[in-house]
Amino acid sequence: MGWMRDETGLGKRDANYVPLTPLSHLQRAAAVFSDREALVYGATRQTYAKYYRRVTQLASALTKAGIAPGDVVATILPNIPAQSEAAFAVPACGAVLNTINTRLDAATVAYIFDHGEAKIAMVDSQFLPLAMAAIDLMETSAPLIIEVPDPVAGVPAIGTQIDYEDFLATGDIAFQWIMPQDEWESLALNYTSGTTGRPKGVVYHHRGAYLMTMGTPISWELPLFMRYLQIVPLFHCNGWNHTWMLPALGGTAVCCRDISAANIYNAIADEGVTHFGGAPIVLNLIVNAKDTDRRAFDHVVHVFTAGAPPAAATLAAIGKLGFDVKQVYGLTETYGHVTECIWDDVWNSLPDDEQAAIKARQGVAMPMMQDVTVVNEKMRQVRMDGATQGEIVMRGNAVMKGYLKNPAATEKAFKGGYFHSEDLAMQHLDGSIQISDRAKDIIISGGENISSVEVEGALMHHAAVNLCAVVAKPDDKWGEVPCAFVELKEGAQADEAELITFVRNRLAGFKCPKKVVFQELPKTSTGKIQKFELRKLAKTL
């Protein structure tokens, strides 16, 4: 019998096994990077030593307020230091962090409070009326509210609830963090956008978040001491897990409450921002910024973009402004990004428009994933010919535990041993994935499938178009036809006939919009265009 079959004395013990958790990154950073900047917000500067001390106090204060391991603590906060502090402090007392979208209505917030059973909610003063309105609609016990004013942004305290700094001061700086005994323990609860029916509660575990924080630096080739601008809302997949990742690199989080071209350029020029993540709408803000909002900078800024397939025209434009953009893809259910578009130097000789088209692909699995691929309805691999369509499915450590209190939806999502994204895509010969559409966004016209993403990509090449979305419009003859909703750039002009002709010169006639509506597009807080609203509108046209 080989010696490897004899496991005597080779078991797990404290010296050789520690459950994986992103909490460990801040513990290490407090010792290794104690004097380096951890959080920056206006004139506010927190070193890692101070960051760790405040997180510890907050964890202690939550415990003294009655929070026990497994309880839920919610936040309704923009990207301010308190949200980053909560990202570590809530799990450091053994609790589960529930970051809530600040743009939700009171009824939905009430549902999340009820469904997640939040015991405490930390709420920015701007959103305190929303939280209190939600409490009035709740069916269960209301959470204790901690008010978080924001003097940097000129958002004063209303003063009817416990003040955040006063609450923090009740904590003990010698508090011993409650680390997970099992890395499968729940870390965070994030609710999906809920565009149809009630939002689903996505549960993350410590292991998945830790591996996200280790896989992302590999994929993004991140350096030590990066300066990261918090554009991605920290309530969206916990900021793609970047808040938990930064201490591992001694990086600095530059908080950004309000996303605008001026604020982005100012952060790059004044704070030396080197990296950020953002949806394609953020790239458009940068490309179309007014001259008065632009600032000169002398370094390359690296960007992860996700949330919707970016237009090749947008990628081509921003690449000339000093930004190196990499397309990534993921969902709330996968902790954020789990695929990346890895660049091959052989593509450097291609024309700019072809390079931009390749950069618009969602790419291949990142290191923390076991497999990400495209399959047909029988769960069989599609042909990797860049044309055959199927559904993106994935498996790996960066996949949720499941949907809270919803076993039927969980079983459906995990059918066949993979998580089902419901995103339709093609796969190229090199294995890279390219989204063609969400299953519900495919337009079926006269029996022909039309990708709304393809039509949107054609429209975005027009010089006057800032943003666009294409949805199905009911049609007596064809069943449904493409209908385009368009936001024009400030000061630009174009009419319906001009845009339809423009697309016809790029795509087959049946793919061209039959109707063009000029209006501001409805968007989520993360910059995704709310197509479900546009589909409802298209039915009335």
pLDDT in tens, 411-452: 999 999 999 998 889 999 999 999 876 667 878 786 667 888
* The predicted structure's pLDDT at residue 3: 57
**Which of 166-175, 463-472, 493-502, 504-513 has the lowest average pLDDT?**
504-513
pLDDT (mean) for 56-61: 98
* The predicted structure's pLDDT at residue 196: 47
Is 497's pLDDT higher than 90? Answer: yes
Q: How far apart are CA 324 and CA 343, in angstroms?
A: 11
Is 308's pLDDT higher than 80? Answer: no
Is 322's pLDDT higher than 60? Answer: yes
* 335 dihedral zone (left: phi>0; alpha: psi -120 to 50; beta): left
Query: Phi/psi at 5 (nearest 5 deg)?
Result: -80, -15
Q: Are 365 and 399 in contact (CB under 8 A)?
A: no
Closest listed residue to residue 46, CA positions, set 19, 80, 16: 80
Count CB atoms within 10 A of the CB of residue 504. Answer: 14
* Percent of the residues in the chain that have a pLDDT greater than 90, as a whole number: 80
Query: Phi/psi at 70 (nearest 5 deg)?
Result: 95, -15
Q: Are 459 and 505 in contact (CB under 8 A)?
A: no
pLDDT category of residue 507 using cuts at 50, 70 and 90? confident
Fold match between domain 45-179 and domain 442-538: no
pLDDT in tens, 212-238: 999 999 999 999 999 999 999 999 999
Is 194's pLDDT higher than 80? Answer: no
pLDDT category of residue 4 using cuts at 50, 70 and 90? low
Pick the CATH number of 209-439 from 3.30.1300.10, 3.30.70.1230, 2.40.30.160, 3.40.50.12780: 3.40.50.12780
Q: How far apart are CA 45 and CA 82, in angstroms?
A: 13
* The predicted structure's pLDDT at residue 195: 44
pLDDT category of residue 193 using cuts at 50, 70 and 90? low
DSSP state of 373: E
- Give me the residue spans of the domains in the chain: 45-179, 209-439, 442-538
pLDDT (mean) for 500-524: 91
Please state the pTM of the whole predicted model: 0.86
pLDDT in tens, 132-150: 999 999 999 999 999 999 9
Is 476's pLDDT higher than 90? Answer: no
Mean pLDDT taken over the chain: 93
pLDDT in tens, 395-413: 999 999 999 999 999 999 9
- CATH number of the domain located at residue range(s) 442-538 in this protein: 3.30.300.30
pLDDT in tens, 83-103: 999 999 999 999 999 999 898
Closest listed residue to residue 128, CA positions, set 162, 168, 98: 162
pLDDT category of residue 197 using cuts at 50, 70 and 90? low
Is 356's pLDDT higher than 90? Answer: no
- CATH number of the domain located at residue range(s) 45-179 in this protein: 3.40.50.980
* The predicted structure's pLDDT at residue 213: 98
